Structure 1
Amino acid sequence: MKLKMSYRLLIAIFLECFVLGACDNPLDGFQLLFKEPIEKSKLEIRFSSATGKLPEDIRLTIAGKDADKIVTNLNTKNFRINKEGLIFLAVSPDVTPSAQSPVSFTVVAEAEGYTKIIKEFTFTDAGNQFFNPRFFSVANPPAGVSANQFKLMAGKNGATTQLAMLKSENVTKQENVVVTVKEGTAFLNKQKQAVAGDIDLVVYHFDNRSGSSYLPEDGLARNPVDKNNSSLTDAFSFSTMAGFAVIEASSGTQEVASSFSKPITVTFELNPATINPDTKAAIKAGDIIPLISYNSDTGVWKVEGSSVINRNTGTSKLECTAEIGYAAYWINGWPRWLCKQGPTVTVKSNFKDVDLYYYCELVNAKTGIAFAGYYISLNNTAAFQFNYLPKETEEARLRLFNHNHIYGGDVKKPIAESGSLNICENISFVLDVSSLPVPQAIELVFDITCPKGMKLDENAIPSQMKTQFSEPGKNQWVNMPTITKDVRVAKTYMLRIGQRYDLRASTDGGVNWPYKQNNYLIDKRRWSFEILGEELGYCK
């Protein structure tokens, strides 16, 4: 395939859309000059919606003391989220962030009928950061979730002027949460100063019927601490989760509040069918339930203590109460202790640079029941360590299947199996899959042509071309290798000859995708992007 794109073709498309009104949004902001994307001190934000479709009226604000130093990755101030919810921000190339001169700013995204998204970022070096926020509809949240935003009035000193009892509301949920803010409570920034103006308090509640999938980091506490901030020996997940709330606070002037001058009271209603793993019975009044926090700014999991379950005499519901001092996830649940490190498998194979990952599972050595699944690389000498496994499962076996993450395969008959392993022992073993045939590769070629008498201007061509594919019509894009100006041929094993795909490419870091071919049949081992270089200024 040769996918061609020229300057004249782009202009013709634009004029047709403009004159005839044939397009709502010609080229979707495509940069005709192919600006080189900024690749240092970059922030990739990928917005999504908990109910599928993104809000149509998202208002994006860049605030904070260094907001003037923030640009898009194309070095513009055109802060626009694309149709897929993606935007790239970057520190201006005129600024070099460092530990001595950090660049700090706040990203705010708001939409009518949705809770506010706000987060602070600080760059101290050339490293990149990522943020994947979700919009939650107040009126139509997903099952198991309530999402509410409250306005609290603050006086001149930044403290609330009256007592506030705020209940998360979702008529389809059986349990909710009540947040009580005492009069005179100030909301404090990271410098422990009261934020100015009235407060936007966002409260989410997730029950344990349908809301468990929203636990941060998939509910895995890799390096937890105790209430005194001392590291715990073991990691943990949750054997039973009874529900959790997320508290977020900010001012109307878009300043994040991370803590409170007075403790806020959070009362959790509990599902009576929740099983207490300590008693092996349904929870009841008098049971003790651990309280665990997760700070999304620091990534720290903390075992805060515990709460006593009681029965509300007015509603007859089971409840527990926590006094909290800062904005975070607050989770009621029992930890399941895990080994931080386990065995490491090293692969022996005929694979080299294959960008497919193959399914394997760990099974209980005694019962044969699978308790963990992974996709791992089968490139020769590739190593994968099995960490964070439940301590109670002492011996396990590894089974590998000829099933990859792109086009599937057989998940019933293993092609290789290890001996018995102690999953808490940091040992290494080899898995030989040399008998597995190497799949066929497809070449991706960045082919810029110049007319006779001209030659390629190496300084003018784009530094990179990102490539993606999707099943036809599904718009579920998967990254393929990035082609660069220095290495214009790459290969992938994710495409198969005889199959149809939607294919696309981008030269601006993934903001726009002007090169696109829908429902294309791969009938040879080469996919070529042929660009007419003279018309784009790539020839001299």
Structure 2
Amino acid sequence: MKSYLRKYIWLAIPLGIALIFFSTCNFKNPTDNLKLIVNFESVKTTVAVDFVNSKTGATIDDRTITLQVEGKDRAMAVDLTNEPASRFSVTEGLISFGIREGVTPTPDSPLELRLIVNAAGYLPTSLPVVIDSTGSHPFSVFMVLKSDPPEGVSTTSDNSGQAGNNGAVLGAIVVSTDPEPESGCAATVTIPQGTIVTDGSGNPLQGGLTVEVTYFNSQTESSLNSFPGGFSVNVSADPDGNPGEGVFITAGFIVVEITDANGRKASSFDPEITLTIEIAPGTINPETDLPVAAGDIIPVWSYDNATGEWQYEGPGVVTGPNANGNFQISYQTGHLSWWNLDWWWWWCSLGKRIVLQGKTDCDGCLWVNVKAVWGGWTSWRYICDDFIQFYYIVPKSLPVEITAFDRWGRRVGGPLRIEDLCDLTQPVMNINIQSTNTYRVFHITGTCPNKDRLDIRPSLPVWIREAGTSRWRYLGYVRNGVLEICNFEVPKRYEIKTFYRGRYYSALFDFYADYSVFVSGNYVTATASGNHVYYNVTLPDNLCNRL
């Protein structure tokens, strides 16, 4: 056997069970009355990621998503068999990977990754991932479908522009989004006649030009969820010119994409073009605790799609109000990216711990939202413990509201208002999850058709959804083939799914009114007995041949 199998192996014998420890997996000629049971946990730290349409809340499973692992500790990324892997092709909206075995992240020495995400028809985005312990770490990535953006977002496309053979724009191009309904704000790009437009390789764009402009307001939850890279960031240079970490509080952001008839994407402009972002009246300037006013300074930042990092571009000066009552910032740029108006906010590395009173291990992970009371900042995270610990880059002196949801998206705690996450007092959030008589222990065994004396007990993340719904949610971590779950509604049908070595495995199970269970699935056979459900999963040949 390959060395990625664990060295602790059980031999089950019909007349009894003998527990034998081996230092190698090189077994030869086992006798017929022996069954080899392998507790398969090649890595002890995993990252489980699902990809979500920002408008509909549905898992994106209708196209291929590309996930690239970057960041300071990207070399630590492996697949679930502990083989190096940093690029993944996602076809069903879910993926899991591991952290190299032997690496033990801690709160004092966390691992820092950045997930770069691309999918056809969606705006590119990224997600910072901080791992501070072993175990399974679930995350969700929100993505914007350009043809159907969420609330708080306005987009427009214009194809009236033309460029000559040398890339020079033949006439001035001015493209504005419609006012976004929630804020009444818009964004505008202005390209002067004669501007030379080139792609990332220096090739000129030629012929017809398509200009797409998308504006995101700073208040609507679905808009803020779409912010690429998150609001706790590492930058190569802050407004004082120093590399470092900090918190963004946004006043709005935009993305501009320009392509020609040959599919070339604009990257650079000579001379510079002008971008204008409007700001809604009443938007709070966190530095003054007052609504924004003419003369206020908001730093301007640009985003690198390849690295997922933000770069400081200079101060933005607020002007206005305009005739429509909105304020605005205009600035010149010679390149394209996401553009963002963000106050650079201070932070602490260790923040508040909030006790989740009433949460049990059986309840699984909660889906927790933390958002600034005055807008401009939000964070979603899965919480699997009975407390929330804020650490790494925590916004200081920023009033927030915290709300907890169960695995089905139902509110079970909060909103709890906290004036300062860096205040180390320990408040309590009461968690109220309705208990049902649906405690079950799932036993999962992988088998190979040509190796009937070999059983694999896997360790890997699992997702769940109510049958017929569109959102997969993190259920938990199967360890050595066992997962305990509870509090399902009856009668109802559910689906579970996982991913391993290029294949997705799924199964249906029905909880009937009498709490009995029926199970079926692809690559899966199952039986149920009392509180125990037994899955037998047929493993792919490419894995079986390695055993």
Report if TM-score (shorter chain) is over 0.5: yes
Q: 2:276 maps to what in 1? A: 267
How far did residue 205 of structure 1 move? Answer: 0.8
2:139 maps to 1:134: no
CA shift for structure 1 position 249: 3.7
**Secondary structure of the structure 2 residue equivalent to 1:320:** strand
Check whether the contact 1:444–1:491 (CA below 8 A) recurs between aligned residues.
yes
Deviation digits for residues 270-290 of structure 1 (CA, Å, limit 9, x no counterpart): 323334445554434344333
Of 162, 166, 186, 2:197 maps to 186
Distance in 2 between the 1:309 and 1:324 partners? 17
Q: Distance in 1 between matches of 2:149 and 2:369?
A: 34
Q: For residue 456 of structure 1, what is the aligned residue in structure 2?
A: 452
**Counterparts of 1:259 and 1:393 in 2: how far apart (Å)?**
37
Structure 2 unaligned blocks of 5 or more: 1-42, 67-88, 97-115, 127-138, 371-377, 429-435, 517-529
1:50 aligns with 2:49: no
CA distance in 2, matches of 1:384, 1:519: 35
Identity of aligned residues (%): 21
User: What is residue 347 of structure 2 aligned with on the other side?
Assistant: 339
The amino acid that maps onto 2:440 is I
Deviations 1:155-178 (A, max 9, x none): 323343332111112574622111
Residue in structure 1 matched with residue 441 of structure 2 by the alignment:
443
Match of 1:318 in 2: 327
| Closer/same/farther in 2, CA of residues 391 and 499 from structure 1, 3 Å limit | same
Cα separation, 1, equivalents of 2:403 and 2:320:
49
Question: Against the structure 1 CA distance between its residues 170 and 444, is the aligned structure 2 distance closer, same or farther, given a 3 Å change threshold?
Answer: same
Structure 2 distance, partners of 1:358, 1:54, is: 18
Counterpart of 2:186?
A: 176
* Contact 1:50–1:141 (8 Å) recurs in 2: yes
| Equivalent-residue separation in structure 2 for 1:393 and 1:157 (angstroms) | 50
CA contact (8 A) 1:49 1:136 kept: no
Report the equivalent of 2:78. none
Q: Which residue of 1 aligns with 2:314?
A: 305
Classify the secondary structure of the residue corresponding to 2:185.
Answer: coil
Of 518-527 and 52-61, deviating more is 52-61
CA contact (8 A) 2:196 2:269 kept: yes
Distance (whole Å) between structure 2 residues aligned to residue 85 and residue 360 of structure 1: 21
Q: Which amino acid aligns with 2:198?
A: F
- How far residue 265 of structure 1 moved from its aligned partner, in angstroms, is 0.3
Q: Which of the residues 449, 452, 470 maps onto 2:465?
A: 470
Residue 388 of structure 1: aligned partner: 393
Unaligned 5+ segments in structure 1 are 1-38, 62-79, 89-104, 111-115, 121-128, 363-370, 415-421, 432-438
| Counterpart in the other structure of 1:27 | none
- The count of residues paired between Structure 1 and Structure 2 equals 414
Match of 1:161 in 2: 170
Does residue 525 of structure 1 match 2:531?
Answer: yes
Task: Give CA deviations for 1:125-179 in whole Å, capped at 9, x if unaligned.
Answer: xxxx997632133xx6443321123334333233433321111125746221110
Does structure 1 residue 146 correspond to structure 2 residue 146? Answer: no
2:242 to 216, 225, 230: 230
Q: Whole-Å Cα distance in 1 between the matches of residues 170 and 123 of structure 2?
A: 25
Aligned-pair RMSD on alpha carbons?
6.0
Q: CA deviation at 1:496?
A: 5.5
Distance 1:213 1:511, change over 3 A: farther
Cα distance change, pair 144–377 in 1 and its aligned pair in 2 (3 A): closer
Contact map agreement 2:155 2:212 (CA 8 A) in 1: yes
Q: Distance in 2 between matches of 1:423 and 1:514?
A: 40
Q: Amino acid of the residue matched to residue 469 of structure 1?
A: I
Deviates more, 1:489-498 or 1:149-158: 489-498
Secondary structure of the residue that 2:224 maps to in structure 1?
A: helix
Alignment match of 1:295 (pick from 304, 314, 330): 304
Please show how residues 501-520 of structure 1 align to structure 2 within 5 Å: 501-505=493-497, 515-519=507-511
The alignment partner of 2:151 has SS state of: coil
Q: CA deviation at 1:263?
A: 2.0
SS at match of 1:386: strand
Query: Matched residues in 1 for 2:537 and 2:60: separation?
Result: 36
TM-fit CA distance, 1:257: 4.0
Instruction: Output the CA distance in 2 between the equivalents of 1:354 and 1:54.
Output: 24
Letter in 1 for 2:281: P
1:67-90 deviation digits (Å, cap 9, x = unpaired): xxxxxxxxxxxxx996x66799xx
Cα separation, 2, equivalents of 1:135 and 1:404: 26
**CA shift digits 1:83-138 (9 cap, x unpaired):** x66799xxxxxxxxxxxxxxxx996624xxxxx65699xxxxxxxx997632133x
The whole-number CA distance in structure 1 between the counterparts of 2:468 and 2:537 is 25
For residues 369-393 of structure 1, the C-alpha deviation after alignment (integer angstroms, 9 at most, x for no partner) is: xx999764448xx995534334337
What CA deviation, in whole Å up to 9, does each residue of 1:5-64 have, x standing for no partner?
xxxxxxxxxxxxxxxxxxxxxxxxxxxxxxxxxx9xx99894636356799997999xxx
1:339 positional shift: 2.2
1:527–1:478 Cα change, 3 Å: farther
- 2-structure distance, mates of 1:331, 1:193: 25
Per-residue deviation, 1:291: 2.4
Distance change (3 Å), C-alpha of 1:447 and 1:149: same
Quick one: structure 1 residues 196 and 295, their matched pair in 2 at CA, closer, same or farther if it must change by over 3 Å?
Answer: same
Equivalent residue runs for 1:364-375 within 5 Å: none
Residue of structure 1 equivalent to 2:27:
none
- Deviation digits for residues 231-269 of structure 1 (CA, Å, limit 9, x no counterpart): 14x51231xx43221223445544544443432201223
Read off the aligned partner of 1:230 and give its amino acid letter.
Answer: N
SS state at 2:243 partner: coil
State the one-letter code of the partner of 1:213.
Answer: L
Instruction: Report if the CA contact (8 A) 2:217-2:251 is conserved.
Output: yes
Q: Which amino acid letter does the alignment assign opposite residue 441 of structure 2?
A: E
CA distance in 1, matches of 2:453, 2:204: 53
Q: 247, 252, 256: which one pairs with 1:247?
A: 256
> In 2, distance between residues paired with 1:155 and 1:326?
19
Is contact 1:258–1:327 with CA below 8 Å preserved after alignment? Answer: yes
Amino acid aligned to 1:342: L
Q: Distance in 1 between matches of 2:460 and 2:388?
A: 29
Aligned equivalents of 1:527 and 1:340: distance in 2? 46
Correspondences of 1:26-105 after superposition (within 5 Å): 46=51, 48=53, 50-51=55-56
* Cα distance change on mapping 1:159 and 1:219 into 2, 3 Å: same
Say if 1:345 and 1:276 are closer, same or farther in 2 by CA, change over 3 A. closer
Over 3 Å counting, the alpha-carbon distance change for 1:389 and 1:315 in structure 2 is: closer
Flag the 1:227–1:328 CA change in 2: closer, same or farther, 3 A. Answer: farther
Match in the other structure for 2:9: none
Quick one: which amino acid aligns to residue 350 of structure 2? G
Cα distance in 1 for partners of 2:144, 2:150 equals: 12
Q: Tell me, what secondary structure is at the counterpart of 2:234?
A: coil
Counterparts of 2:198 and 2:458, CA distance in 1: 46
Q: Letter of the 1:444 partner, please give it.
A: F
